[in-house]
Amino acid sequence: MITFYGWGPMFGCPSPSPFVMKADIQLQMLGVDFTRAIADLDAVPKHKAPYVIDDGQLIEDSNFIRHHYEAKLGKDLYDGMTSKDIALSWALERMAEGQLAKIMAYERWMKDENFNKGPAQFFSDVPEPARPTVLKEVREGVAATHMGEGTGRFTEAERMQLADWDISTISMQLGDQDYLLGDKPTCADAAVAAVLISCATEFFDTPLTGLIRKHANLPAYIDRMKAHYFAHVTWPEWPELKQQPV
């Protein structure tokens, strides 16, 4: 039995993590039969989700999950695509995950109002006397990560300009198509739509929602992907929250 570990609906999204959504979609694209379970980050070496356990074998990270099942099933999500489409697909995925997802995470974790209504919930099991200290230390760690990789070095206006360029590029590529590369969803849609869903949620107060909604084709695209891949999905109930999705 294959078990896929992540997190279910939260923050107005099918998962609080775009990487969990991406891997879920790609497993569905590959026709993998799997069950969903709530992740325990303390139980895996990378302390990240998503991850799968397949006949006792642990595979971590959405990209390596995809590679594992492509090899195991003799399938390839690039099948039928030209070399130029493969290059475009990977570039779109890296753009969405390499920059836009980081800006989205900054909006959630570094803005006090957003953090308090969102990621702070992951620490609800920490005893009240210790909770302020734990939250402060966690946010300092997240801030240091953002500073180290560069997102935290930009002003808000600069971050939103970078996000706007990314989102506008995705909108231009989508055009009047149903999906990024045509009339059928591909692996690029799994990654890009997952990040857009995370950016577009109205749960958080962020300019990202407006940057997406100013493009008429993107909200419809997001709804199309959610309806296609998540309308039928069910997750176990969340335990006491103590994990740290993006």
Q: What structural domains does the chain harbor?
A: 2-73 (3.40.30.10), 83-229 (1.20.1050.10)
Residue 159 pairs in a beta bridge with none
Asked if 239 and 38 touch (Cβ cutoff 8 Å), the reply is yes
Enter the pTM of the model: 0.94
φ/ψ of residue 238, rounded to 5? -65, 135
Strand, helix or coil for residue 128:
coil
**What whole-number distance in Å separates Cα of residue 229 and Cα of residue 24?**
8
Q: pLDDT at position 245, please?
A: 57
Q: Where are the alpha helices (DSSP H) in 3-130?
A: 18-29, 62-73, 83-95, 101-110, 112-117
**What pLDDT shows up at residue 108?**
98
**Chain Cα centroid distance, residue 233:** 16
Place of tokens 């997802």: 101
pLDDT at 128: 87
Contacts with 75 (C-beta within 8 Å, 6 or more apart), sequence order: 30, 31, 69
Query: Could you tell me which residues come within 8 angstroms of residue 139 by beta carbon, excluding any fewer than 6 positions away?
Result: 109, 110, 115
Q: Which residue has the tokens 């909770």?
A: 131
| CB contact burial 193-226 (16+ within 10 A = b; e otherwise) | bbbbbbbbbebbebbbbebbeebeebeebbeebb
Q: What is the model's pLDDT at position 125?
A: 82
Q: Which residues of the chain have pLDDT under 50?
A: 242
Q: Give the C-alpha separation, 114 to 156, whole Å.
A: 15
Peptide bond just before 50 cis, omega within 30 deg: yes
Strands 2-6 and 35-38: parallel
